[in-house]
Structure formats: structure tokens, C-alpha cells
């Protein structure tokens, strides 16, 4: 991967500004703004988002935007039952979110494609030390970008039992296309939450990647994990003892409190991706991304 990514002057300026902006302070400010319950303000924010991204309120469990107590509550709104049917094939790997394929393919020499001209290591993504092992070399990955107008709850691609969770502190760059093309190792530099599962197809990791203005990441078993953003070292939780936490395929596992990216990791030979999926392909929760072996 030696070709250099191309970008417009505006994109280069956008990325350059991110290097000097107080990313965490801005995200903490957005966290407070998104949870404001002052009706005129939160209603204005919600109406602006609906108009800007043409959000289909008919899909929401609560279709009245004024009924949400805050912008954050609207942003993480539930969907009506049945509007995202799950692929019925038992071997199907389900898309865990509404979004767009950023990259999809194989993990080669322990590295994932970020964008044209950029790759990064699985080890760095998972927040592992130089001597720590992982099961994903030679495996498969899919990176899915969530735009601000997308549904922002995250669901299980496969049924699995939680074995561990790691919060890896980091920067909070935007995760849009321009930043992915221009910031080396973006997804391994940003703050992220790594969720490890044991499935019938072997180990599976779902990585939630933070971004600028993302007001928090949370899971159904631990609640809100971020903020705060003060930690400088990875925090790890083990779930291999005690009552197992098992989540069925398609079940909600977490949510972003503003838009970001999800990365799926599988070990060698575990999955085969659908051939038509490619960067830029729009995907929806519950659709088939591929099949388990």
C-alpha cells in the first residue's frame, strides 16, 4: 500500500484543524449539550438533525420528536419492532448497525485496510502490548461507518458469550472518509471499546470506535463506559467467571451517543463475506454480511 491518498484543500484543512482542536473538551461539551432538557433548545437540535439527514420518523418506536427528553435520547432512539428484520439464514452474519461499509476483507500480516494508502495493525486496534497474542491474524474484518442520521444502537452480528471488554483511551478524530484517508492509523489512535465474544464460529471482537463530538459509548451489561476520558492506560474487564453474559444474534449490545464506527473481527476460516459488499455500500441492521463457515 504505497499510493498516497488524494484530498481537496478543504479536506486537508479540516484534518489539520483536528490536530490542534481540544478534541476531548469539545466532546465533553457535546455530552452536556446533548443531554440538555430545556425544551426549546433540545427541540431545535432534534428538528435540525431530522431535516439535515432526512430521518424517517415512521421507523422510530416514538415517532414524535418532541416526546424525547433530550437530543441524546432522540439520537439513540429505539426502532419499531419489525422495521429491521433479521436475515433468517442461521449461518448469516448480521450487520450490527445501520451505516455504510468503509472497508471489508481479510486481515493480512496482522493488518487491516483503513483507506487507500493506509493500513493499521490488529494489535494496535485491540490495545495489546507487543507480546500479547490474539486470534485474528489471517482472519476477516468489516468496518462500518455510522453517519449522524443513522440508527445508533449496536446489535450482535452472531450469538455469543461475552468474555472480556477493554477501554482503550486515545484521540477523538472524526471518522469520516477524509480523515480516514489522511490520518494514519486512525482507528487505532482514536478512543475505542473492544468487546470480545465466544461464538460457535470461534472468537469474535466488536470494536466501537469513538470520534470527535461522540458524547459517550455504552453497553447493555456495563452501562455508560465513556465519558470520563481521563484514563491514559487501557482498562480491561474479564467476564469468564460468574454468571455468563450471553447475547443472541440481533440483540442490542450497546450504543453510540453520537455517530462513529464499528469494526468486526473474526479468526481465520470463520466467515466468508458476501461478494457484492464493497467500500461505500449502504447497509442496514439485520441484513446478511456473509456466512459463518
Q: Give the model's pLDDT for residue 34.
A: 86
C-alpha cell at 173: 478524530
Global pTM reads: 0.91
Q: Is 98 considered catalytic here?
A: yes
Q: Give the model's pLDDT for residue 230.
A: 58
Residue carrying the nine cell digits 489539520: 16
Q: Beta-carbon neighbour count of residue 202 at 10 Å?
A: 18
Q: Is 159 considered catalytic here?
A: no
Q: Give the model's pLDDT for residue 219.
A: 96
Choose, from 24, 27, 72, 98, the residue flagged as catalytic. 98
Q: Give the model's pLDDT for residue 179.
A: 82
Are the CB atoms for 152 and 211 separated by under 8 Å?
no
Q: Give the model's pLDDT for residue 1.
A: 42
For the chain, 293 residues long, the average pLDDT of each consecutive 10-residue run is: 63 81 77 91 96 96 97 94 96 97 94 85 91 91 93 97 94 81 86 95 95 80 78 86 95 88 96 96 98 94
Q: pLDDT, tens digit, for every residue of 245-277?
A: 999 999 999 998 876 899 999 999 999 999 999
Choose, from 24, 118, 155, 204, the residue flagged as catalytic. 155
Q: Is 70 considered catalytic here?
A: no
Q: Give the model's pLDDT for residue 2.
A: 42
Q: Give the model's pLDDT for residue 134.
A: 92
Give a three-class secondary structure readout of 137-168.
CCCEEEEEECCCCCCCEEECCCCEEEEEEEEE
Distance (Å, whole) CA 92 – CA 88: 8
Q: Give the model's pLDDT for residue 177.
A: 83
Domain boundaries in the chain? 9-75, 92-292
Amino acid at each position: 500500500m504505497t499510493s498516497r491518498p488524494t484530498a481537496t484543500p478543504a479536506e486537508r484543512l479540516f484534518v489539520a484543524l483536528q490536530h490542534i482542536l481540544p478534541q476531548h473538551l469539545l466532546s465533553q461539551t457535546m455530552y452536556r449539550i446533548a443531554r440538555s432538557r430545556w425544551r426549546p433548545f433540545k427541540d431545535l437540535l432534534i428538528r435540525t438533525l431530522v431535516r439535515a439527514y432526512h430521518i424517517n420518523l415512521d421507523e422510530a418506536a416514538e415517532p414524535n420528536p418532541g416526546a424525547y427528553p433530550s437530543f441524546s435520547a432522540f439520537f439513540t432512539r429505539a426502532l419499531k419492532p419489525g422495521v429491521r428484520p433479521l436475515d433468517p439464514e442461521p449461518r448469516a452474519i448480521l450487520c450490527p448497525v445501520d451505516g455504510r461499509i468503509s472497508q471489508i476483507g481479510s486481515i493480512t500480516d496482522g493488518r487491516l485496510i483503513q483507506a487507500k494508502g493506509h493500513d493499521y495493525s490488529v494489535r494496535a486496534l485491540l490495545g495489546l502490548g507487543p507480546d500479547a497474542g490474539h486470534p485474528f491474524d489471517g482472519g476477516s474484518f468489516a468496518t462500518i461507518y455510522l453517519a449522524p442520521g443513522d440508527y445508533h444502537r449496536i446489535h450482535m452480528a452472531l450469538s455469543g458469550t461475552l468474555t472480556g471488554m477493554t477501554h482503550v483511551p486515545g484521540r477523538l478524530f472524526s471518522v469520516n472518509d477524509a480523515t480516514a484517508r489522511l490520518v494514519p492509523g486512525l482507528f487505532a489512535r482514536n478512543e475505542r471499546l473492544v468487546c470480545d465474544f465466544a461464538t460457535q464460529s470461534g472468537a469474535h471482537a466488536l470494536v466501537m470506535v469513538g470520534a470527535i463530538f461522540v458524547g459517550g459509548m455504552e453497553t447493555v451489561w456495563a452501562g455508560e463506559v465513556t465519558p470520563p476520558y481521563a484514563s491514559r492506560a487501557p482498562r480491561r474487564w474479564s467476564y469468564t467467571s460468574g454468571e455468563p453474559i450471553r447475547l443472541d444474534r440481533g440483540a442490542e449490545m450497546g450504543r453510540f451517543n453520537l455517530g462513529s464506527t464499528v469494526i468486526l473481527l473474526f479468526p481465520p476460516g470463520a466467515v466468508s463475506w458476501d461478494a457484492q459488499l464493497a467500500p461505500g455500500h449502504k447497509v442496514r441492521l439485520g441484513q446478511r454480511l456473509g456466512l459463518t463457515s
